[in-house]
């Protein structure tokens, strides 16, 4: 892998959804998440990170060092135990220089730091987002250099509920109840249209700790631009990254406050008299003039 990232980055991610549910809330019957006070739609940072992980698995799944720790149906403690096995550390035996192990099966002292480094080396998402690995064999905790906010829609969203019909039933008992009609009714919730914005940050100091590299950063940008292209489902409708605006600082500490840079990205409705139904109903204004000294800007796609 390449060297750890040496520059601070701040970024703005704009994505939209049409006739889909971008992030259902399981505590609310899987309705699209919404800010109860403003009516604006929400997409959690966890949801966005999941899509980055999925894209990384799709494109780098067989490349050493780009495995994913938090994957579907994974047993996390087993991955931590494998890290100790790869290091040749027997968690049932007394550590070197000790008469006995404090807790059999659990790492201790400098073993935990070695296991943490091994996990960072093996898993892209740990190097990127961090992880809590203090369960089971214990590989400590990692604070990731890449953090993201919730996605929030520019305007309030409308959640529509649709009745749907499946022309089949699951069991013979259901068929008998319907005298062979064999239909199952259900409901589906969608957002007609929503343009969402999320903000993100890349810390060079934390990147040095996890060894988050230039190769990792390249994959992160690629994932944020393309993650919806490989996440299609009947529930999510048309989703796409519309803009990724990256502010690069020429040093690790940064040359300007992130919130001031974010103010340079403005989204305005072209015609507020009718509901927005596409990205073309908005004007995206990016002020790339007279940037603070030490800051450059890149706009994708």
DSSP structure class, residue 233 = -
Averaged pLDDT score across all residues of the chain: 95
pLDDT for the residue numbered 97: 85
Q: What is the pTM of this model?
A: 0.94
Q: pLDDT band at 62, cuts 50/70/90?
A: confident
Summarised one tens digit per residue, pLDDT across range 71-116 is 999 999 999 999 999 999 999 999 988 999 999 999 999 999 999 9
- To which residue do tokens 């596409």 refer? 278
Q: Note the pLDDT of residue 141.
A: 97
Q: For residue 142, give the DSSP letter.
A: E
144-201 pLDDT, tens digit per residue, is 999 999 999 999 999 999 988 888 888 888 888 887 777 888 889 999 999 999 999 9
122 — phi, psi (to 5°)? -85, -35
Q: Angle 123-129-135 (CA atoms, 0-180°, nearest 5)?
A: 70
First to last CA, the chain: 25
**What distance in Å separates the CA atoms of residue 84 and residue 157, rounded to the nearest whole number?**
48
DSSP E strand stretches across 85-180: 130-132, 141-143, 146-148, 151-156, 160-166
Euclidean distance between CA atoms 173 and 169, whole angstroms: 9
Cα–Cα–Cα angle for 98, 100, 105, nearest 5°?
115
Average pLDDT over residues 206-212: 98
Helix (H, G, I), strand (E, B) or coil at 294: coil
- Token pair of 199, please? 């903000």
Instruction: Judge whether residue 1 has pLDDT over 80.
Output: no
CA angle 37, 39, 43 (to 5 degrees): 105
Segment holding 274, helix H or strand E = none
DSSP state of 31: E
* C-alpha to C-alpha distance for 190 and 145, rounded to whole angstroms: 34
Query: What percent of the chain has pLDDT above 70?
Result: 100
Separation between Cα atoms, residue 170 and residue 235, nearest integer Å = 21
């Amino acid at each position: 892998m390449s060297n750890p990232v040496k520059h601070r980055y701040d970024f703005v991610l704009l994505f939209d959804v049409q006739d889909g549910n971008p992030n259902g809330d399981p505590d609310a019957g899987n309705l699209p998440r919404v800010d109860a006070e403003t009516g604006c739609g929400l997409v959690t940072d966890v949801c966005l990170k999941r899509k980055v992980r999925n894209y990384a698995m799709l494109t780098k799944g067989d490349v050493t060092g780009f495995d994913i720790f938090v994957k579907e149906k994974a047993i996390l403690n087993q991955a931590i135990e494998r890290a100790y096995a790869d290091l040749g550390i027997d968690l049932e035996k007394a550590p070197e220089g000790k008469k006995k192990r404090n807790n059999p099966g659990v790492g201790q002292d400098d073993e935990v730091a070695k296991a943490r480094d091994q996990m960072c080396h093996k898993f892209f998402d740990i190097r990127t987002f961090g992880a809590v690995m203090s369960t089971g064999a214990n590989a400590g905790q990692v604070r990731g250099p890449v953090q993201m906010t919730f996605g929030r829609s520019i305007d309030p969203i409308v959640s529509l509920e649709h009745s749907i019909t499946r022309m089949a039933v699951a069991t013979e008992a259901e068929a008998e109840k319907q005298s062979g009609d064999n239909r199952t009714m259900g409901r589906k919730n969608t957002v007609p249209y929503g343009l969402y914005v999320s903000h993100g940050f890349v810390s060079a100091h934390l990147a040095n700790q996890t060894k988050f590299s230039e190769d990792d950063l390249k994959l992160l940008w690629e994932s944020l631009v393309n993650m919806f292209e490989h996440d299609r489902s009947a529930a999510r409708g048309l989703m796409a990254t519309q803009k990724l605006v990256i502010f690069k600082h020429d040093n690790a500490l940064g040359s300007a406050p992130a919130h001031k840079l974010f103010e340079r990205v403005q989204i305005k409705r072209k015609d507020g008299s009718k509901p927005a139904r596409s990205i073309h109903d908005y004007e995206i204004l990016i002020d790339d003039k007279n940037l603070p000294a030490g800051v450059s800007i890149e706009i994708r796609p």
